[in-house]
Amino acid sequence: MRNALTLFSSTDCVLCHRVRLVLAAKGVTYDLIPVDPQNPPEDLVDLNPYHSVPTLVERDLVLYAASVVSEYLDERYPHPPLMPVDPLSRARLRLAMLRLEHDWVPQVQAIQMGNKVQAEAARKRLKELLTASVPLFKASKFFLNPEMSLADCAMAPIIWRLPSLDVPLPKDAKAIEDYGNRIFRNPGFSRSLTDQERKLRDMPM
């Protein structure tokens, strides 16, 4: 029997991983269709005018863009909630996720897909972003929130990839390492990983 949800997803992509982590946190089952972004399948081409991943299909509904898909899933499957109740906290988390998409994700993508010069510049920039964010990781158990949220689903895939991206954490960034380990030890995180992503680093004990 097919699941109600189908997710078109790359096997190593921070944006796709973000959506898979939301699905895992919600305990939602779905059919996963692995996609090579350079050679998208005809089904995806027909469904999404941008041919991009992640793309979520639920019956006649087709959604794309990780932020749109993530917020839809949080509202469609309200337990456990992955956004705070009060509007101010929700707005802060949305701004944080916007910054991740505009500032952090392009660095990861440049390291993975850029040339040597682009990759080195992106490593330097990503390390600067991590260093500047240490106080935020120290401030609360999860990213800008006392409970796990959609912001963690966006941040954790980046932290998971740091060793494979050859981006060592700064010496004073134990708070980031501790944060990552809290997320990675959650059984839902393991369920969110593709076989390819599982090989990127060792799971903490």
Two structure tokens written together for 171: 């010496």
> Beta partners for 9?
34
Alpha helices (H) in 61-201, listed in sequence order: 66-76, 87-99, 105-113, 116-139, 150-165, 174-184, 187-192, 195-198
Residue range 8-34: mean pLDDT, rounded: 98
Strands 55-58 and 5-9: antiparallel
* One-letter-per-residue 3-state SS of 44-65: HHHHCCCCCCCEEEECCEEEEC
153 is an active site residue: no
Query: H or E stretch including 17?
Result: helix 14-26
**With pLDDT > 90 as the criterion, what percentage of the chain qualifies?**
96
> Beta partners for 56?
7, 63
The whole-number pLDDT of residue 170 equals 84
Residue range 57-75: mean pLDDT, rounded: 97
Are 204 and 181 contacting, i.e. CB atoms less than 8 angstroms apart? yes
Q: Please tell us whether the domain made up of 5-76 is placed in CATH 3.40.30.10.
A: yes
Q: What's the mean pLDDT when you consider all of the chain?
A: 96
Q: Which position among 7, 13, 110, 151 bears the catalytic label? A: 13
Residue range 36-64: mean pLDDT, rounded: 97
Domain boundaries, given as residue ranges, for the chain? 5-76, 87-186
Cα end-to-end span (Å), the chain: 36
- At 111-154, the pLDDT tens digits run 999 999 999 999 999 999 999 999 999 999 999 999 999 999 99
Model's pTM, two decimal places? 0.96
Query: H or E stretch including 34?
Result: strand 31-34
- At 159-198, the pLDDT tens digits run 999 999 999 998 899 999 999 999 999 999 999 999 999 9
The whole-number pLDDT of residue 1 equals 56
Q: Please tell us whether the domain made up of 87-186 is placed in CATH 1.20.1050.10.
A: yes
The whole-number pLDDT of residue 61 equals 97
The whole-number pLDDT of residue 3 equals 81
Position with higher pLDDT, 6 vs 204: 6
Residue range 46-55: mean pLDDT, rounded: 98
Strands 61-64 and 55-58: antiparallel
